[in-house]
Amino acid sequence: MTQLVLEQLLNGLQFGLMLFLLAAGLTLVFGIMDMVNLSHGSLYMGGAYLGAVAAQASGSFLIGVLAATLGMAAVGLVLEVLLFRKLYTRDHLSQVLATFAVILIANEVVRIIWGPQPLMLNPPELLAGPVELLGFSYPAYRLFIIVVGLGIATLLYLLVSYTRVGMRVRAGASNRAMAQALGVDVRRLFTGIFALGAALCAVAGVLLGPLLAVQVGMGENILILAFVVIVIGGIGSIRGALIGSLLVGMADTLGRALLPTLLRAVASPEVAAHLGPALASIMIYLLMAGILFWLPQGLFPSRA
Amino acid sequence: MKFLRHSDRLELALLLVVAALPLALQALGEDYYISFATRLLIFTLAATSLNFIVGYGGMLAFGHAAFFGIGAYVVALMMAENITSAWIAWPLAILVAALVALLIGAISLRTRGVYFIMITLAFAQMIYYTMISLKNAGGDDGLPLAQRSTLAPFNLADDATLYWVTLALLAVCIIALKRIAASRFGRALAGLRQNEVRMEALGYPVHQLKLACFVIGAAIAGLAGALLANQNGLASPSQLYWTQSGMLLVMVILGGVGQRYGGVGGAIALLGLEEALGQITDRSQLYIGIVLLLVVLYAPRGLVALWVRQR
């Protein structure tokens, strides 16, 4: 039992860190520009596809990751300059419509280029097997994701908390007009943030590629989870995104793995079999509704 | 008909034309399009109900699929219990949708802005995941209907009759919403859109007014869902998924938020475009996306507003 719990804790950590890579960019876009971006999941999908194709062509997973990161950063840059820049001053409704349109276009473009079949992305051979960890074996590739995720999260945290650029980002999230008045070029800053967010999405897409299917529509599922994360954490807060990601990753993973077992202890097996999966899949939404009920601005409100 | 104003007469004339559509289609032998037209009317109803919440109530709700889907599932679940009468199942669909909306709205209305968008979305997703994990609701495959609801004395198994019933319900709902918008309640909602703080200071029960608006919209969506289940012969989980909420919202924005016929215009434009593009290309989603982008950039107040302004 303890081994199962430990293993699921690691899985939860791994999932949470990947969610963080998605949520980090989304929360800044949301927080600084007050912009609802539904197409963030499409960047994630784009990253996974680019990574899978590049890895297949070159035979190297690392090249796949690099190609996806740089490729999606470029795509993010172009999207921001051509489209998103025009949407910042518009109301949320227009942003919903425009970014929903981007989802439709992105899904169709991916279908045109790579066809409707899911792509296969294999983990690097070096990490294909399990490793011994605290007396039980754990897939090496999942451990690798955890390490990379922790590394990126730390770097991002340091970047936002301790550098001059990060200070400007935080100033922008707290009060955009004031930051602008004090001489921060919010426009250029934001183009940078958007490209960075796209790159982080791409990393998450490639890393999760071998675990989940690389297919059209993959972005829509995870996008909602990323939204849940940033709303729980408080929109615009990197710290909130990190805490929120870990909470959601853990709640989702542990809920799915343990809830049916726990329910069996207190209810009849039949009820547990029905209720368990249902409760597990709505766990994170319950968590979010509960947090918003008591803290309508999320855990770490970023606005002054 | 002295009690009808000029605009009312125009609407009545339009209604008669739309009502004659199945006869024309039957004469032309294009019976397939009767089903398509029914679908169009149903989505028009759903989009109109969302437009009431978004446009009149000023609440950007992103979980309308929940009520739309609940209506469908209520009818399908009743059917599975051998209760086929629409006189029982449809009002129940409306009632359940309204009750769920009362609960969701009461909690969600504590938040505002982006947080309201997200919490309504979260509740809708909860309902989606609950329904697909319920075995007797058919799981991922959805719940097929053994037959269409029976609505004595009408025979809904006939496509044209279902069309007329849908049209009649749509007309009733549009008239009711029009009356509501013109009532004291509707005026209070208009005031809320302008300045919520001031309305609160004037002593209006802001929270209750918004909640009532939310519930009315959801109840109509429940009716639309019940109709769609009959039209499709299936209560499908995809009808509950967040992309469905997105689609309905897109229809409203496309038609024009807060325009009386915004929901109508948007649903017809989007589904019509989809159908027309589907005839000539497999890539219709790509072109729809491009059209939506063009609308955002060049017709920000929606298609109906564009038409109204140019007249």
- CA dist B141 → B66, B136, B238, B239 (Å): 17, 11, 9, 12
Taking the CA of residue A43 and the nearest CA in chain B, the distance in Å comes to: 16
Tell me what pLDDT residue A302 has: 67
Q: Confirm or reject contact between A282 and chain B (CB < 8 A).
A: yes
Tell me what pLDDT residue B1 has: 45
Q: Confirm or reject contact between B135 and chain A (CB < 8 A).
A: yes
* Residue B25 is assigned to a structural domain of this protein: no
Q: 3-class SS at B43?
A: helix
- Inter-chain residue contact B134 with A36, CB threshold 8 Å: no
Listed as own residue / partner, the contacts of B271-275 with beta carbons closer than 8 Å and 24 or more positions apart are B271/B39, B271/B40, B271/B43, B272/B40, B275/B36
Q: Cα–chain-centroid distance for residue B75? A: 16
Identity of the residue in B125, B286, B296 whose CB atom sits nearest the CB atom of A109: B286
**How many Cα atoms occupy the beta-carbon half-sphere of B308 within 13 Å?**
13
- Inter-chain residue contact B250 with A278, CB threshold 8 Å: no
Looking at B113-183, list the stretches that DSSP marks H as alpha helix, in order from N- to C-terminal side.
114-133, 159-182
Length of chain B: 311
Show the low-confidence residues of chain B (pLDDT under 50). Answer: 1, 311
Show the low-confidence residues of chain A (pLDDT under 70). Answer: 1, 302-304
Identity of the residue in A92, A235, A286 whose CB atom sits nearest the CB atom of B60: A92
Cβ neighbors of B33 (< 8 A, separation 6 or more) are B25
- Inter-chain residue contact A285 with B253, CB threshold 8 Å: no
pTM score, whole prediction: 0.86
Identity of the residue in B114, B122, B257 whose CB atom sits nearest the CB atom of A93: B257
- Inter-chain residue contact A228 with B122, CB threshold 8 Å: yes
Pairing mode, strands A136-139 and B234-235? unpaired
* Residue B189 is assigned to a structural domain of this protein: yes
Taking the CA of residue A134 and the nearest CA in chain B, the distance in Å comes to: 35
Tell me what pLDDT residue A304 has: 44
Identity of the residue in A93, A105, A235 whose CB atom sits nearest the CB atom of B290: A105
Q: Which domain holds residue B227?
A: 34-240
- CA dist B230 → A4, B36, B94, B264 (Å): 46, 13, 15, 20
- Inter-chain residue contact B289 with A224, CB threshold 8 Å: no
CA distance A12 to A76: 29
Length of chain A: 304
Tell me what pLDDT residue B45 has: 95
Q: Confirm or reject contact between B253 and chain A (CB < 8 A).
A: yes
Number of domains in chain B: 1
Q: Torsion angle, CA of A26/A32/A34/A37, rounded to 10 degrees? A: -20
Neighboring chain A residues of B133 at a CB cutoff of 8 Å: 274, 277-278, 281
- Inter-chain residue contact A224 with B125, CB threshold 8 Å: yes
Tell me what pLDDT residue A126 has: 80
Taking the CA of residue A147 and the nearest CA in chain B, the distance in Å comes to: 30
Residue from B135, B286, B294 to probe the interface with A (highest A Cβ count within 10 Å): B286
Q: Confirm or reject contact between B119 and chain A (CB < 8 A).
A: yes
**A125: exposed, middle or buried (Cβ count in 10 Å: 0-12, 13-18, 19+):** exposed
Tell me what pLDDT residue B307 has: 67
Q: Return the CATH class of domain A2-294.
A: mainly alpha
Q: Confirm or reject contact between A105 and chain B (CB < 8 A).
A: yes
Q: Which of residues 143-202 of A touch B (CB under 8 A)?
A: none
Q: Confirm or reject contact between A294 and chain B (CB < 8 A).
A: no
- Inter-chain residue contact A292 with B288, CB threshold 8 Å: no
Taking the CA of residue B174 and the nearest CA in chain A, the distance in Å comes to: 23
Neighboring chain B residues of A298 at a CB cutoff of 8 Å: 115
CA distance B47 to B259: 12
Q: Confirm or reject contact between A271 and chain B (CB < 8 A).
A: no
- Inter-chain residue contact A285 with B134, CB threshold 8 Å: no
Identity of the residue in B60, B125, B292 whose CB atom sits nearest the CB atom of A93: B60
* Residue B222 is assigned to a structural domain of this protein: yes
Q: Confirm or reject contact between A107 and chain B (CB < 8 A).
A: yes
- Inter-chain residue contact B285 with A101, CB threshold 8 Å: no
Q: Confirm or reject contact between A261 and chain B (CB < 8 A).
A: no
